[in-house]
Amino acid sequence: MINRTYPQSRLRRSRAKSYLRDLVAETKLSTDDLIQPIFIADQSENKIEIPSMPGIYRHNLESLYIETEELVSNGIKSIAVFPAIDPLLKNKNGSHALEENNIVCSALKGLTEKFPEVIKIADVALDPYTDHGHDGLLIDGKIDNDKTLELLQKQGLILAQAGADILAPSDMMDGRVQAIRNTLESNGLVDIIILSYAAKYASSFYGPFRNAVGSSNTLGKGSKKTYQMNFANLDEALHEVAMDINEGADIVMVKPGTAYLDVVHAIKSEFHIPTFVYQVSGEYSMLQLSIDKGWLDKNVMLESLMCCKRAGADAILTYAAKQIASELNS
């Protein structure tokens, strides 16, 4: 560390004017760093607001395309689609996830045709489709890891064939990246990127998301702690990331985001691989509600995302992507 002393060094000099602060800023945030998650549903209404997520909606396909056009006009180049499935289509095996004309596959096909320049990220997991709300097959009260892999392979293949550019397995089953990568390779889909939810914690910040996709009612008081990570652990995250890289992950992700920036920094420092962070529904809703109530200044959202970048995140999934992009462009 340089030995700097006062008054020869006055660190406030570079903070005196806004253009100086921008000039020497160590961390930059642009629309290239932002990914917009979008909830979709087979519904008659164009869009329905999600009560626990201020300003966020479930969209039908028509509304999805309108929303995507607005995102593109604001410089957002990547979206992640998440389905809210009709309860009548859910069952214990999540078999609707394997239907080639389900809402996600239809959305991917439509987006590919209408917005070929947009990067489409598809979640690989069973929880939106199961009647018990878990990410895997529930057999005799336990999640069967290896039988779940067989379904995830099929789901990943269907999503890739429908037009997904990036598959994002979020289930946290052991071996799922290798299983999906092998299936893609054997079917000639060698250019599909795998964005692994490598460090996904069993967090209480997911509540509004589960409301949005309709899995909170099915999961009830159930727990995902047998496959999602203990939030007390950091070293375990490094082991998870190492395994996923070895199995064929191109990008890894930490979820949740803001409360786990030590994990982001550790992963980026250790592996030097593209590392994304997901500012999840609970994190977004806490900040947005506080902004709407006047309890916090609106810049707190930008601050939270800048902190993710400073920790080492290469990109951020955030429900505030369109809002922040508009601010960055103004």
**Residues annotated as part of the active site:** 200, 255
Residue 65: count of CB within 10 angstroms of its CB: 17
Residue 7 CA to residue 224 CA, distance in Å, equals 56
Q: Which helix (H) or strand (E) holds 85?
A: none
Cβ neighbours for 180, distance < 8 A, ≥ 6 positions apart: 124, 152, 153, 156, 167, 169, 194, 248
DSSP letter for 101, please.
T
Structure tokens at 124: 């690989």
Cβ atoms of 108 and 163 closer than 8 Å: yes
Cβ neighbours for 2, distance < 8 A, ≥ 6 positions apart: none
Give the residue among 5, 68, 2 at the shortest CA–CA distance from 35: 68
